[in-house]
Structure 1
Amino acid sequence: MLQLNSDIAERFALIALGHVTREYPSKLDHMMYSASDARTPRDLHPIFFGSFDWHSCVHGYWMLARLARLYPDMGPASAIAARFEESFTPEAIDAELSYLEQPSSRSFERPYGWAWALMLAAELRLWNPTLAEAFDGIEQNIVLRFHAYLPMLTYAVRTGVHSSTAFALILASEYAAVAKDTSLRDLLSTRARHWYGNDRAAQAWEPGGDEFLSPTLCEAEAMRRLLPRAEFLSWFDAFLPELARGKPETLFIPAHVSDRSDGKTAHLDGVNLSRAWCMRALASSLPDKGCRDLLRRAAEAHVQAAMPHVAGDYMGEHWLASFATLALTT
C-alpha cells in the first residue's frame, strides 16, 4: 500500500512552493460594496493570495508544514522554513485577521476554508510552536466561527464540494484533538449525531460531476472520529449494511476524469484521493478483516488512479497534492 516517503514529500513540497506565492490566476471569494473594495489578491490577503484561491493556499501551507515536520532533513525543508518566515509576519497575520473580522466576511470560506485554517493551526502547533503562537488570533477567530455556525445549521450540507458539513467536521475534529479543545469536540460530536445519527442504508449516488469529496465516506469518517468506537460500529453497520459484499458498488470504482484542464472536472481526481483517505481511516477501525481488506484494496486503486495527475495542469496542481498527503499519511 503506497505511503508517503521522502521522495514523494520532496516532490509535493516543490509543487506547493511553486504556487503558494503565485498570485495569478486567482479566484476570489470577496464581497464588494464600492469601487474601493476592488483590490488585488495580494492586497486583500498578504499571506493566502496564491494557489488560485484562499483555501487552496491555506492547505498548501498546511501541507508544507506537515511535510517539513515529517521529513525535516528533506531537500526543500530549508526553503519551507524560509517561506513561512517571509510570509507569516506579524503584519501579514494581522491583515488576514482583519479581513476575517469584517462584517462582510461572516460567510467567507465557510466551512471549507475555516476547517483548513484549523488544520494549519494544528500543524503549526506540532511543527513550529512560535509560528502557532503568532497564528493564534486567526485560529481563535475560526474556532469562534464554528461555535456560532454549527448550532444554527439546521440541516447538514450533504455534498461533495466545499460546502460539505461532514468534511469540515473531520478537519475540525483533528484540530480539536491536537489543541485539546474539548468544548469544540463536544460541539462537533453533538451536531454530528443530530445530523447523521439516524442515517441508514446509504445509497451512495456519487460521484457528482464536479465533486472532490465522497459525501458517503466523509459522513462515515466524521462519525468514526466523533463517536465512541462501539457507538460508531453500530451506526456504521446500519449505514453501510452491505459493505462486505462491495456495495454500494459506486464507492469502489475510481472516478474517471475526462478533462483535467477544466477546473470542475478536475475535481474528480480529488474524489479519488479523498475516498482513499476515508477508506484507509475507516479500515483501521473495523473489526471484520474482510471489510478492512476490501476498503484497503479500494483505497489503493483510488490512489493509483489519481497519483499520476497530482501535477501537470494548474487546475489540479494548485491543490491535489494536499489531498494526496491526507491519503498517504493515513
Structure 2
Amino acid sequence: MAMTQTHELDLRTAEKFARIALSHVEREYPHKPGFVFGSPNDVRSPRETHPVFFGSYDWHSCVHGYWMLARLLNRFADLPAAPEIRGLFERRLTSAAVAGEVALFERPESRGFERPYGWGWLLKLAAELEIMEERRFADILRPLSRLVAGRFRDFLPLATYPVRVGTHFNTAFAIRLAADYGEAINDAAFLYLLRTTALRWYGEDRDCPAWGEPSGDDFLSSALTEAECMRRLLPIETFADWFSRFLPRLAEGQPATLFSPASVSDRSDGKIAHLDGLNLSRAWCFRSLTGALPLNDLRHSVLHAAADRHLAVSLPHVAGDYMGEHWLASFAILALEA
C-alpha cells in the first residue's frame, strides 16, 4: 500500500483502511473464542455469543475495528465510506445487542475475559464515540463501557505487579488506552487510579535494557509501550525526568534492539504476523514520544527516524493475509495519527 513519504494519514489511505475494516467486522468466521465455557448452554455461534463484536477473527480485534471506523468517521468529514460506517453502527450498536455483550461479561467465568487488552480497546472505542456528532452511539455502548471501567477499578488495586510482555497481557498498553476514556468522560477519579497505578508499577524503573525485544510473537514493545503509558498519564515535567532515567541513551540509538524493525518471515502465521504490529506500535510510540520532546533535543531526530523506518517496513502489509488484515490497520492509524 503506497503511503506518502512523510507517513501521514490522508483521505485516500483512510478510505482504504475503512474498507478493510468494513470487510471483516461482520465476518463471523474464522473465529477464535476467548472465554471460558461454563456449561453446554454457552456453546453458541460467535454471532449469538457476541451480538456486536462477533467479527474480525476475535472479540478484541472486532472492538478495535469499530474504534478505527469511528475514528476515521470523526477525522474525515468527506470519507466516501462514511455512509457504510454509519449503516454498520445503526445495525450493530443497538441497546439489545450491547445488553448481550454485557451478559457475557457478567457470567461468573468471565471475570478475566479480555483482561486487560480488550478492556483497554473497549474504553478506547467508547472515548471515540463520545466525540462523535451522533452521541447516541456512546449512550448505547455506555452499559458496557461502564462495566469495563468498573473491571479496571476492581482489578488495578489487586494487581501487585505489572505484566511486561509484548502481547495482549501487557498492562501498560491497556491503561494507556483507558486514559483516553477517562479524559473523554472527564472522570478525574478514574484517571487518578490509572496514574497512581502506573507510578506504582513503573515509577522506579531505570536504564531499561530492552534485551527481550523482539520476541517471536510480540506486537507491542514492552519498553516503548511503558514509556508511552507514562507520557500519557504523567505531567510533562514529571515524565521528562522519568523518561531520561528510563532510557538514558536514546540519543545514541541505544538500546539498539529498539531501533531495528522486526523481520516478518511468514504473514500467514498469526503469531509471526504479530511482528508487523510490533513495527507499527513501535512507530506509534516513537512518534508520540517525539512529540513530548523539545525540537532541539537530540533524541527528537533519532526517534523520528526510527518511526519512519518501522512504518516503511510494515505499512505495505496492512492488507494481504487475513491473519494480519483483521487487525493491523488499527495499529497503523495509531502510528499515523501520533
- The two structures share one fold, judged by TM-score above 0.5: yes
**8, 12, 18: which is aligned to 2:17?**
12
Partner of 1:214: 221
In the alignment of these two chains, the number of paired residues is 330
Counterpart position of 1:317: 325
Q: Could you tell me how far apart the structure 1 residues matched to 2:64 and 2:124 are?
A: 8
For 2:170, the equivalent position in structure 1 comes to: 164
Give the structure 1 partner of residue 142 of structure 2: 136
Alignment deviations for residues 207-230 of structure 1 (CA, whole Å, 9 cap, x no partner): 110000000000001111111111
Contiguous gaps of at least 5 residues in structure 2: 1-5
Conserved 8 A contact 2:38-2:109: no
| 2:156 equivalent in structure 1 | 150
Return the alpha-carbon distance in structure 2 between the equivalents of residues 179 and 282 of structure 1. 24
Preserved contact between residue 259 and residue 306 of structure 2 (Cα < 8 Å): yes
Given the alignment of the two structures, is residue 278 of structure 1 paired with residue 288 of structure 2, yes or no? no
TM-score, L = length of structure 1:
0.99
Stretches of 4+ aligned residues off by more than 4 angstroms: none
Distance in 2 between the 1:6 and 1:196 partners?
A: 38
Residue 41 of structure 2: aligned partner: 36
Partner SS state of residue 210, structure 1: coil
How far apart are 1:37 and its partner, in Å?
A: 1.7
User: 2:315 corresponds to which residue?
Assistant: 307
The one-character-per-residue Cα deviations of 1:285-330 (angstroms, maximum 9, x if unpaired) are: 1135321111011001101111110000000000000000000111
Letter in structure 1 aligned against 2:302: L
User: In structure 2, how many angstroms separate the alpha carbons of the residues matched to 1:186 and 1:34?
Assistant: 39
Task: Please say if residues 127 and 185 of structure 2, whose CA atoms lie closer than 8 Å, have aligned partners that are also in contact.
Answer: yes
One-letter amino acid matched to 1:282: L
Aligned-pair distance for 1:102? 1.6
- How far did residue 34 of structure 1 move? 2.6
Task: State the Cα RMSD in Å.
Answer: 0.8
User: Shift of residue 202 of structure 1?
Assistant: 0.3
Give the deviation of 1:256 after TM superposition. Answer: 0.3
Distance 2:247 2:107 in 1: 43
Aligned-partner Cα distance in 1 for 2:37–2:292: 47
> For each residue in 1:165-210, what CA deviation from the matched residue of structure 2 results, as whole angstroms up to 9, or x when unmatched?
0101110111111111111110011011111111110001201100
SS of residue matched to 2:68:
helix
Q: Residue 71 of structure 2 aligns with which residue? A: 66
Alignment of 1:178-197 (within 5 A): 178-197=184-203
Q: Which residue of 2 aligns with 1:297?
A: 305
Whether 1:85 aligns to 2:86 is: no
The TM-score, its normalising length taken from structure 2, stands at 0.96
Residue type matched to 1:177 in 2?
E
Tell me which amino acid in the other structure corresponds to 2:112.
Answer: S
Q: Is the 8 A contact 2:46 2:54 kept in 1?
A: yes
The equivalent position to 2:274 in structure 1, one of 267, 277, 289, is 267
Residue type of the alignment partner of 1:152: L
Give the whole-Å Cα distance in 2 for the aligned partners of 1:254 and 1:109.
Answer: 28
Matches of 2:312 and 2:197, distance apart in 1: 35
Q: CA deviation at 1:33?
A: 2.7
